[in-house]
Chain A
Amino acid sequence: MVSCSEDDDFTESIFNTTKGAVDKDASTAPFDQWLYDNFVVPYNTEIQYKFNFPASSLEYQLTPADYKKSQLLSHFIKYLFYDVYNKYGGDDFMKKYGPRIFHYIGSVAYAPTTGTETLGYASAGVKITLINVNNMKFWTPTNEYTNADMEALNKDQFHVMHHEFSHILHQTKTYPVTFGQITPDTYEPRGWQDRDSILTHQLGYLTHYGSSAIYEDFVETLSCTITDTDYRWMSTIIEACLNGGVKDGDKEQVYALIDSLGIRKFDDPNMMWNNFTIYKESALNSETKKYEETGRYVPDFHLTEARSKSESTLKFDQVKKITSFKDFLDNWVEIDRENKAAGINAILKKISIAQKWHEEKWGLKLFELRREVRNRQDSINSFVRNNVTIYDYQ
């Protein structure tokens, strides 16, 4: 038998073998070194802050992320995400379960056909893509983060991180089937974005997107619990109780939830939940040209949204001015004797399942994570001031 082929002589490689893991000569070397020290070495995680076209989605028109904002976001991922899970899940938690890749996208990801905007996505339990990085407010010593800035960061960045990471967790250890049985008939994969907040909460979902599919509902339950502001939580609770009533025992559980969430200034009369007005909604009948009651109550803080989402012209008649959430829940919200109520009852059940799953499968305590994230967010300005170096290109 004669030899039919010879092995190639590997005299030259297409890979640059003269440079280390971090190219010290690169214009981004200082930040690359920081990423190497803080993500690659401890977690084997790559932060792809430079646009990776083949790994991006062609569904959307996307742009690269801003270099300096990418640096800031990377620090936030470590401070508000990795360090939090490690603190409560153990030092190895993120080594084992953390995503292997983060990919940053600068622009929004807008889907022309549905008119929806994607804030991030997780792929195969391995990669988290964070979108709209360029919309982050950039921190400077003379332009620190305000509460409103934190709310925007929370919504656009931190919520997305926890949402996508929760996907990775349930892609690793699946969530209980019972979760999907709480509101099985009202998931709407295509038209979820057309629902307004009142309906979404009435149906027992924390967010519009959560009502698109069970797995999205599940991770929204986790991420909202960890990151949603007091304002968002209380407006959700109000609307989830407002229409359809609650079941026996729900009111007590609502107070327990508020306690677990650590709602601040709960009794402060200036807070929204102690100072809102309830309206009854009527829609114009295009044939009779008369307004007809829809049977729905709408709080003042979502009148505009209700109008914008409705195909009919709406009219709102004031029903009651609320000056205390306790008065609202104790005296205005009715007990549903027919046992049909979804709303807050469904939300409470979902949180309970998610909380239990977090603890049993991962050894994590959901509300503990929330408290930790919030405490860290409270000190975000001092964190950035004292711990973050933003590099220019060298």
Chain B
Amino acid sequence: MASNQLKKEMTMMTYKNIFRTMTLACAVVALSTSCKFEQDDLFEESASLRLTHQNENIKSRLVAESDASKNGWLIQYFVAGTDDYQFEGFNLFGRFYDNGKVTLASDHRYLRDGNANKYTEHTSTYDMLSEEGTVLSFNTWNDILTVFVDPVDPTKAPGSLISNGEGMYGDHNLVLKKFSENEILFYGERHTAITRMIPCDRPWQQYIADTKALKNRISSTSLNNYYVICGSDTMYFVGLSKGLYVYSERIVDPLNKKSLSCVFTPRGFRNENPETIKGVSFQEFSIDNDTTALYSEDGKVKVVACWDNYMANHAAIWELDSTLFTASQKAIASEINTMLKSFNTGWSLKSIGIGKSTGGNSVNGLVFTCYTNTAKTKTNTLGIESVIKRIAYGKLGINTAADATTDKNMNTVVAKVPEFVNKVKEFAVTLNGVYDVTPNDYFLPTGGTFTATNGGTTFKLN
């Protein structure tokens, strides 16, 4: 440190000498040519004073927004991650006090002492340092933030050293990148961990609850794939629910894939860094009012869950709304019901649906759910395979082939009532066609309307 200071002083002296020499030379020129020489001042203050004043300004802003009448700061924090581990973004909250105290809070999964995923607050100290620029330093241990810096295995912390002693490559010394009234950006002094601070628009626990609700609304382990659409171009997100997902050119065997981290917000999610699709930039997405999609800052890029693929491949059995059956369909269904009774007097048709049958040799396709006792307290399913295929966004095709496979339960009925299979196929064929599909939920549908556009019969799944 001492040698660095010495080096700086010597450098300043050298500059001063050069300046003197240059000034003298200019004076000679000025005297001989009678020209006036003026040097424009680019800044009114010295660099050190400017830095000092900037630190004071930032501290004032941090403290002002931390007033008890306000909600403090939302801190969107991204660790750099290591070769072995990549991480999602984290929502932290902070209140900064003039006396150097800072209270941070979060409910992130790396909190220790049994606090993982529980709302926790911890107080420590901070300072504004003048180094190569303004540095916000969290300089004593804080349970909320410094766990990201600790060189222990994050999956086993505390206590166990990670094999390479790296931890998560978080930073607790943050170098100022951008400062405005409502947004302060930092990058980590050592690992360039990205930190964005904005005034929190609601109480912290409310923010956490609202964010969780939105996250659960738009992502789930069942439906976790998304289209990223910009005009006629489409890319894909896979795995959004973890906050760390893959951005690629296709879902299966992804091309040009990139791992992206994000933090969730009460309105959507924000990526660690801006990304582009065909030259159009996006970073933060917010859900639209009709909750069909998330839109980027300028609305040019939208994120839509791959609900159509999900509807084509889901396992749950969604029932066809029998009130919308055509007369022909009603008649076939009635005959199926009669045949079931001839198979077993206690049996009757409960519903016809689409999904995966539950018996042996189960199939995806059309599923006939039957009551198997007269009290109608027990059910069983009979399945016939149908191919349900995504044709384009929001457009599905259904086809049950003449030689479609049937499951074990269906075969048992057919063994006793051979004509049963033909009746089932007769019904299935009424659905063969291409449909425009409107889901009942664009992020996790449990049904929807299938409007026939080429063959088939319009129907509704509940």
Contacts and interface: CB of A to CB of B under 8 A. Distances in A.
Given A61-B166, A67-B125, A393-B101, A53 B151 contact: no
Given A61-B149, A67-B124, A51 B172 contact: yes
Nearest to B165: A110
Interface in A18-75: 25-29, 49-55, 58, 60-67, 70
A117 B23 CA distance: 56
A64 B140 contact: yes
Nearest to A25: B99
A50 B127 contact: yes
B151 A108 contact: yes
A389 to B, nearest CB: 18
Contact of B146 (A54, A106, A111, A393): A106
Contact of B137 (A28, A49, A51, A67): A51
Nearest to A58: B190
Given A4-B20, A4-B24, A51-B139, A112 B100 contact: no
Contact of A55 (B1, B123, B124, B141): B1
B90 to A, nearest CB: 16
Contact of A394 (B99, B130, B135): B99
B27 A28 contact: no
Contact of A108 (B100, B127, B135, B161): B161
Contacts of B146: 63-64, 106
B150 interface: yes
B125 A107 contact: no
A60 B151 contact: yes
Contact of A70 (B19, B23, B140, B164): B140
A46 to B, nearest CB: 12
B138 interface: yes
A60 B191 CA distance: 12
A14 interface: yes
A65 B138 CA distance: 11
A392 to B, nearest CB: 8
Nearest to B1: A55
Given A14-B49, A66-B141, A53 B189 contact: yes
Nearest to B159: A135
A185 interface: no
Contacts of A60: 151, 165
B167 A61 contact: yes
B150 A107 contact: yes
Contact of A14 (B19, B52, B139): B52
Contacts of A63: 141, 146, 149-151, 172
A61 B49 contact: no
Given A27-B100, A27-B101, A53-B173, A66 B151 contact: no
Contact of B27 (A2, A27, A65, A106): A2
Contact of B141 (A25, A27, A106, A111): A106
A65 B139 CA distance: 8
Nearest to A70: B140
B258 to A, nearest CB: 26
B97 interface: yes
A193 interface: no
B140 A66 contact: yes
A27 B125 contact: yes
Contacts of A61: 149-151, 165-167, 169
Q: How large is the interface on A (under 10, 10 to 19, 20 to 34, 35 or more residues)?
A: 35 or more
Interface in B24-58: 24, 27, 48-49, 51-52
B131 interface: yes
A70 B125 CA distance: 13
B215 to A, nearest CB: 29
A164 B444 CA distance: 62
A5 interface: yes
A50 B141 contact: no
Contact of A5 (B23, B97, B164): B23
A51 B52 contact: no
Given A5-B23, A64-B140, A110-B161, A54 B131 contact: yes
Contacts of B98: 25
Contacts of A4: 20, 23-24, 27
Contacts of A55: 1
Contacts of A112: 164-166
A50 B125 contact: yes
Interface in B72-113: 97-101
Contacts of A54: 1, 131
A12 interface: yes
Contacts of B138: 64
A236 B282 CA distance: 64
Contacts of A202: none
A166 B127 CA distance: 33
Contacts of B151: 60-63, 107-108, 110
Interface in B1-37: 1, 16, 19-20, 23-24, 27
A232 B101 CA distance: 43
Nearest to A111: B165
Contacts of B16: 5
A354 B166 CA distance: 38
Contacts of A70: 140
A107 B149 CA distance: 9
A56 B41 CA distance: 37
A127 to B, nearest CB: 9
B444 to A, nearest CB: 40
Contacts of A25: 98-99
Taking each of B48, B99, B161, B165, which has the highest tally of chain A beta carbons within 10 Å of its own beta carbon? B165
A12 B48 CA distance: 11
Interface in B214-271: none
Given A2-B27, A51-B172, A108-B151, A28 B100 contact: yes
A101 to B, nearest CB: 10
B137 A53 contact: yes
A377 interface: no
Given A53-B189, A58-B190, A60-B165, A14 B48 contact: yes
Nearest to B23: A4
Contacts of B149: 61-63, 107
B24 A64 contact: no
Contacts of B173: 51, 53
Given A14-B52, A14-B130, A51-B172, A393 B123 contact: yes
Taking each of A29, A63, A65, which has the highest tally of chain B beta carbons within 10 Å of its own beta carbon? A63
A134 interface: yes
Nearest to B22: A4
Contacts of A393: 101, 123-125
Contacts of A49: 140
Contacts of B161: 108, 110, 117
B125 A28 contact: yes
A67 B16 CA distance: 43
Contacts of A134: 141
Interface string B184-216: 000001100000000000000000000000000
Contacts of B135: 53
Q: Which A-B residue pairs are the 3 nearest by beta carbons?
A: A110-B165, A27-B101, A50-B139
Interface of B: 1, 16, 19-20, 23-24, 27, 48-49, 51-52, 97-101, 123-125, 127, 130-131, 135, 137-142, 146, 149-152, 161, 164-167, 169, 172-173, 189-190
8 contacts: A25-B98, A50-B140, A51-B173, A61-B169, A66-B141, A107-B149, A108-B165, A393-B101
Given A64-B142, A65-B141, A107-B149, 4 more contacts: A5-B20, A50-B137, A53-B131, A108-B161
Interface of A: 2, 4-5, 12, 14, 25-29, 49-55, 58, 60-67, 70, 106-108, 110-112, 117, 134, 393-394
